[in-house]
Chain A
Amino acid sequence: MDGGRDHRNTSAAAAAAPARAGAVRSGAQHLLDALEAEGVDTIFGYPGGAIMPVYDALVDSSLKHILVRHEQGAALAADGYARASGRVGVCLATSGPGATNLLTGLANAYLDSVPLLAITGQVPTSLMGTDAFQEVDVFGMSLPVVKHSYIVRRAEDVHAIVREAIAIATSGRPGPVLIDLPKDVANARAVARPVRQIVTRLPAAAEARLAEAHALLARAKKPLLYVGGGVGIAGAERELREFARLTGIPAVATLKGLGACDPDDAHYLGMLGMHGNPAANFAVQECDLLLVVGARFDDRATGRLASFAPEARVIHLDADAAELGKLRACDVGLVGDLREMLPRLVHPVAIRPWQRRCRVLRQQHAWRYDAPGEGIYAPALLKQLSEAGGNRLIVASDVGQHQMWVAQHWRVPYTAAHLSSGGLGTMGFGLPAAIGAQLARPGATVVCVSGDGSIMMNIQELATLKRYNIPVKIVLLDNSSLGMVRQWQELFFERRYSEVDLSDNPDFAELARAFGIPSFAIERRDQVDGAVQRLLREPGPLLCHVRIDARENVWPLVPPGKSNGEMMGCAA
C-alpha cells in the first residue's frame, strides 16, 4: 500500500554509518562522505565556479549525479525523488544564479513539507559581503522557505552539518534545508568533528486528549474524515485505512491527501475544495464532526473559511503543533505521530443514516464521461490511462487545468503514486518531478501529465530524459492556452482574455524528436485506446501530444470568496 516508500529514520541510519573517522579530507570530500553515510545514492545538480571543488570530489565518489539543464530542474527533480521514495532528495548548484534558480524548488518543498537538501557553492569567505562575482546571500534569500539553513565556516564541520541537515529535513514535519558552502571551506582539509545525535521522535498524544476525542466520536451522528498530505508523509496510510474500516466513518481528501484512503472504499467521497467532487463538498458542509488528519485548512480546500463545515466540532491530528488552531479552532488537538495516534483514536460510532446519506451523495455526484463530440475529453483519457496502468503507475502532474483533472479522475492507489505541487502551484514541476520519481522508483511506470503552458517552464529537461534514457511517459494536454487563467477570465473577468493565447506553440511532437525523444500526436477520441496502449507498453521515454478543445473548463468550481456548498457547474 505504501508503494515501496522508505520511511526509515535517517538519524538512526546516520548513527549506524560511521564517518571516515580521523581521516584528513577536504570539505568537499566530507560533504560527499556524509551523503554516502546517510544512504543518499542520487543527487541532481549543475556545476559552476564556486561549487567546483565538490564536482571535483564527485569524480571519486559512488554517488550518482544527474546533470539537469537548469538548477530549478535539479530542485524539482530532487523533490520528486523525495515524494516518490519518502527519502531525502538532494540537489546541488553553484553560487549566484545557480543558487537563486533553486529558490522556487525550495519554496515548493517548503509548502508541501518535502524533505529536500539543497547544497550551494558560495564565494570564498574572504569575499563574502564584497559583491563578488556570482555572490548572492542565498542564506538570507531563502530564510522564509526553508525549515533550516547553514553557512559552513570550517571544513571540520561539513560532515556533521550534512548529517544534521538530513535529520532535520526528514524528521517531524519534513521540509527543505539549505547548506551554503564557501569555496575555501570546500577546499580546506581537516578531520571531521563528531556528529551530534539528533533526537527526532514526535511526542505521544496525551491520554486525556484522546478521551475527549472519544467522547466527541461517541456523540457524533455525522462524522467525517478530512484527510491531508500529512498521512502520506507520516507513512500512516495503513493506520488511516484501518481506522476508516473499523469505524466506517466517511472520508474526503485534499489534493495532497489523494491516495491515503482506499479509492474503492464505499465510504470515500473523493477530493474536497475548489475543484473537489460535489459529494465531498456537500458532506463537509453537512457533517457534525470533522476529524482532520494531517491537513491544514488550506484556502483551496476550504473555500470561505467562515462557512466551512459550519455545523462541525473539530478533532485535529497533526505532527506540527503550529497547525492546530491556525485557521480553524479545534475542540480537541492531538499532536504526534499519526501512525501511533490513529489506532488509539478508534471508537465505536452509530452512524448508519449518515453512511447512507454519503452513499447517496457519492452516487448522485459520480463523475460523468459522456462528453459530446469527436474530440478528446481529457478527464476520460486520464481515467482510462490510470485504470489501464493500475498500481504500477506514478503520476507527476504539472500545474493548471490538467492538474485538477488528474486530481479528479486519476485513480490514485497510494499517496506516493500522485505527485502534485499543492502549496506553491509551481508550473514546470511535472517533468523534473517525474524524472526524480522514476530514478527513485525504477520499477514504476512514471507518467508526467502536463499542459502546453507548464511544459514550457522546464522543457529543457527533455534533454535529461534523453541523456539518461529515463522512461518517463509524458501526456501533454494542449489546449493552446493558459487554460486555468483563461477559465477565470471567462468566468470572473467578463471574458476579457488577457495574455492567455498560446496558439503559436511549437509543434511539441517535433520538439520532442529534436531532443531525441520519441513522440506522437492524437486529436480524436478514437485514437485514445491506441495511445494508452502505446504509453503503457513502449520502453524508454515517450511524449504523447494530445490536442484538446480550448474551451473546456474544470468543473465544478467554487468561486473565490464563496462557500464550498456554492459550486458552479454542479446541481445541488
Chain B
Amino acid sequence: MSCSLVLALDRAEGALLRVLGTIERRGWDVLAVNAASDAQAYTVNLTLGGSRDPEILCRQLQRLVDVQEVRLVGEG
C-alpha cells in the first residue's frame, strides 16, 4: 500500500531530519520525496510505502513542533 502526503514545515534546523526519521521509525518506506523552501517554510511532497494506517502517521507527524500542516492527498 502507498500513500501521498504534503507537509508544510518551519524552515528550522533539523525539521526535515525529524520528519523523515519519524516516517521511517514508524514503519514506512520513503518511495519519493520532493522538497522546496522559501525563507520561512519547507513544502515537502512524499510518496510512502507501508501497511499501517496513514491517518495515524499523519497524527504522529502533526505533533512534531516544526510541522505546520500535514495533508494526506492520496492512498493506493
Question: Measured between alpha carbons, how far is A84 from B17 in the docked complex, in Å?
Answer: 33
Inter-chain contact B59/A322, CB cutoff 8 Å: yes
Q: Which of A136-163 contact B (CB under 8 A)?
A: 139-140, 143-144, 147-151, 153
Which one of B55, B62, B64 lies within 8 Å of A325 (CB-CB)? B55
Return A98 CB to nearest CB of chain B, in Å. Answer: 20
Question: Measured between alpha carbons, how far is A125 from B52 in the docked complex, in Å?
Answer: 41
Report chain B residues within 8 Å CB of A502.
Answer: none
Inter-chain contact A325/B53, CB cutoff 8 Å: yes
Q: Mark A310-334, 1 if CB is under 8 A from B, else 0.
A: 0000000000111011100000000
Which one of A139, A144, A147, A326 lies within 8 Å of B56 (CB-CB)? A326
Inter-chain contact B13/A148, CB cutoff 8 Å: no
Which one of B14, B63, B66 lies within 8 Å of A320 (CB-CB)? B63
Q: Which of A364-391 contact B (CB under 8 A)?
A: none
Q: B60: CB under 8 A from chain A? A: yes
Question: Measured between alpha carbons, how far is A143 from B13 in the docked complex, in Å?
Answer: 12
Question: Measured between alpha carbons, how far is A243 from B17 in the docked complex, in Å?
Answer: 43
Which one of A149, A173, A322, A325 lies within 8 Å of B14 (CB-CB)? A149
Q: Which of B4-31 contact A (CB under 8 A)?
A: 13-14, 17-18, 21, 25
Question: Measured between alpha carbons, how far is A140 from B63 in the docked complex, in Å?
Answer: 19
**Nearest CB to that of A320 among chain B residues?**
B63
Return A107 CB to nearest CB of chain B, in Å. Answer: 13
Return A334 CB to nearest CB of chain B, in Å. Answer: 14
Inter-chain contact B17/A321, CB cutoff 8 Å: no
Inter-chain contact B21/A144, CB cutoff 8 Å: yes
Q: B72: CB under 8 A from chain A? A: no
Question: Measured between alpha carbons, how far is A144 from B25 in the docked complex, in Å?
Answer: 8
Inter-chain contact B14/A139, CB cutoff 8 Å: yes
**Nearest CB to that of A150 among chain B residues?**
B13
Dominant secondary structure of chain B at its interface with chain A: helix
Return A118 CB to nearest CB of chain B, in Å. Answer: 15
Q: What is the size category of the interface that chain A forms with chain B?
A: 10 to 19
**Interchain Cβ contacts within 8 Å, total number:** 36
Which one of A143, A148, A326 lies within 8 Å of B65 (CB-CB)? A148
Return A150 CB to nearest CB of chain B, in Å. Answer: 7
**Nearest CB to that of B20 among chain A residues?**
A143
Return A80 CB to nearest CB of chain B, in Å. Answer: 25
Inter-chain contact A143/B55, CB cutoff 8 Å: no
Q: Mark B38-76, 1 if CB is under 8 A from A, else 0.
A: 000000000000000101100110111110000000000
Report chain B residues within 8 Å CB of A217.
Answer: none
Q: A272: CB under 8 A from chain B? A: no
Q: A168: CB under 8 A from chain B? A: yes
Report chain A residues within 8 Å CB of B66.
Answer: 148
Q: A143 with B56: in contact, given A148-B65, A151-B13, A168-B65 (CB under 8 Å)?
A: no
Which one of A140, A168, A173, A320 lies within 8 Å of B17 (CB-CB)? A140
Report chain B residues within 8 Å CB of A153.
Answer: 13
Interface residues of B (CB under 8 A from A): 13-14, 17-18, 21, 25, 53, 55-56, 59-60, 62-66
- Smallest CB-CB A-B distances: 4 pairs: A322-B59, A148-B65, A322-B60, A321-B59
**29 A-B interface contacts by CB (under 8 A):** A139-B13, A139-B14, A140-B14, A140-B17, A143-B14, A143-B17, A143-B18, A144-B21, A144-B25, A147-B65, A148-B64, A148-B65, A149-B14, A151-B13, A151-B14, A153-B13, A172-B63, A173-B63, A320-B63, A321-B62, A321-B63, A322-B56, A322-B60, A322-B62, A324-B59, A325-B53, A325-B55, A325-B56, A326-B56
19 new A-B pairs (CB below 8 Å) besides A321-B63, A322-B62? A139-B13, A140-B14, A143-B17, A143-B18, A143-B21, A144-B21, A148-B66, A149-B14, A150-B13, A151-B13, A153-B13, A172-B63, A320-B63, A321-B59, A321-B62, A322-B56, A322-B60, A325-B53, A325-B56
